[in-house]
Amino acid sequence: MKIKEILSVLEEMAPLAYAEDFDNVGLLVGDQNSEATGVLVCHDALENVIDEAIEKKCNLVVCFHPILFSGLKKITGKNYVERSIIKAIKNDIAIYAVHTALDNHQHGVNKIFCDAIGLVNTSVLVPKQNFIRKLITYTIPENAEKVRNALFEAGAGNIGNYEDCSFNSKGIGTYMGNENSDPQLGERFEFVETPEIKIEVTFEKHLESKILKALFSNHVYEEVAYEIYELQNQHQNIGLGMIGEFNTPMEENDFLAVVKDKMQSDGIRHSAFLGKPIKKVAVLGGSGSYAIKNAILAGADAFLTADLKYHQFYEAENQLLLADIGHFESERYTKNYIVDYLRKKILNFAIILSEENTNPVKYL
């Protein structure tokens, strides 16, 4: 099996188009055309993890955090990033990062977080913006079903819990071909007036080339008329953070005790207790201070995230309980999810969960 075959499975799990613009995801080191010997899944591709990959004969390391985040002008081994990259290259080990591609996925980091602490009825906290586009095209009635189905097959027409969604309206199309035309209906220089179906579908922007290929391959016209628009609609199934609720509310102390236990946190920093039960909870794995207002607007009783600064605790504004459970802790089950996903998709192949604890934060 080639490494690129495994990468295609990873992109099914977490499409790279879902990642934030600032992020550095995908294949960071290595040749995707190399034969894969095994996959080691970790949180951070540090030097000790590369050593583990060498020991376990894995030439693909799949990490959550990208070890290469910003550009390197020199690779001399002077810091932990450069040492990891040098060791990986010397030992022909590829490194692939998922990070915000999985953060933004509806079954990704934050759904894993919600499931771990027992939240139900979950939805995205900060929906992704400017990610939905609309295609409008026109064809004769006899061709409409074929075009529509091809667009659906290419990924168009998915809205929330529904698929194969489209809007179709009847109208009259007109055209006249010149000397170089080859019209489906009528003759050159003939003014043609014919019934047409207008088809409208939405799609995620990274699918545009696939959508257009399906359109052109299944349309009967020599010149296909179509329009593409960028929509302002939020994507309700893609975005950062999640909000859910407990079946039974619990007191604040009990709530934090459950979170500490389930997320295996050695310490939780939190804002002042408000003396009200916790039922509706927002979560955002990793650094999530930017979403405090989103959690408040969503009506959360508590917001769990990490990397909060002193003054950011004031932003709770006595409207919710704000808790920092630790960066690593808030994402700790992500690598388990990746391993489980790969094992279901790739049978009879070494998919190994790293045994290295790469959390740089220690507690007294």
Same domain, 263 and 116: yes
91 is a domain residue: yes
Residue finishing a domain among 184, 199, 231? 231
The residue assigned the tokens 């050695």 is 266
Same domain, 25 and 88: yes
Same domain, 242 and 326: yes
49 is a domain residue: yes
Residue 48 clears pLDDT 90, i.e. is over it: yes
Q: Is 327 known to sit in a ligand binding site?
A: yes
Number of domains in the chain: 3
Give the tens place of pLDDT for each residue, 210-232.
999 999 999 999 999 999 999 99
Give phi and psi for 247, each to the nearest 5: -65, -35
Q: Which domain holds residue 119?
A: 106-128+238-331
Q: Is 65 known to sit in a ligand binding site?
A: yes
Give the tens place of pLDDT for each residue, 272-316.
999 999 999 999 999 999 999 999 999 999 999 999 999 999 999
For Cα atoms 27, 288, 7, give the angle at the middle one, nearest 5 degrees. Answer: 15
pLDDT of residue 7: 98
Same domain, 16 and 67: yes
Same domain, 118 and 257: yes
Same domain, 176 and 152: yes
Residue 184 clears pLDDT 90, i.e. is over it: no
Same domain, 41 and 65: yes
The CATH number of the domain holding residue 185 is 3.30.70.120
Residue 72 clears pLDDT 90, i.e. is over it: no
Q: Is 103 known to sit in a ligand binding site?
A: yes
Same domain, 152 and 84: no
362 is a domain residue: no
What does DSSP say about strands 39-44 and 60-65: parallel, antiparallel, or unpaired? Answer: parallel
pLDDT of residue 185: 86
Beta bridge partners of 26: 97
pLDDT of residue 160: 82
The CATH number of the domain holding residue 244 is 3.40.1390.30
Beta bridge partners of 250: 278
Same domain, 242 and 327: yes
Residue finishing a domain among 171, 198, 231? 231
Q: What is the mean pLDDT of residues 183-208?
A: 93
Q: What is the mean pLDDT of residues 182-204?
A: 93
Residue 161 clears pLDDT 90, i.e. is over it: no
- Cα–Cα dist 180/285, whole Å: 59
Give the tens place of pLDDT for each residue, 51-63.
999 999 999 999 9
Same domain, 46 and 176: no
Residue 344 clears pLDDT 90, i.e. is over it: yes
Residue 70 clears pLDDT 90, i.e. is over it: no
Query: Which among 352, 346, 302, 320 is positioned nearest to 119, based on CA atoms?
Result: 302
Q: Specify the length of the chain in residues.
A: 364
73 is a domain residue: yes
Q: What is the mean pLDDT of residues 265-272?
A: 97
360 is a domain residue: no
pLDDT band at 88 (very low <50, low <70, confident <90, very high): very high
Same domain, 140 and 264: no
Same domain, 83 and 13: yes
**pTM listed for this prediction:** 0.88
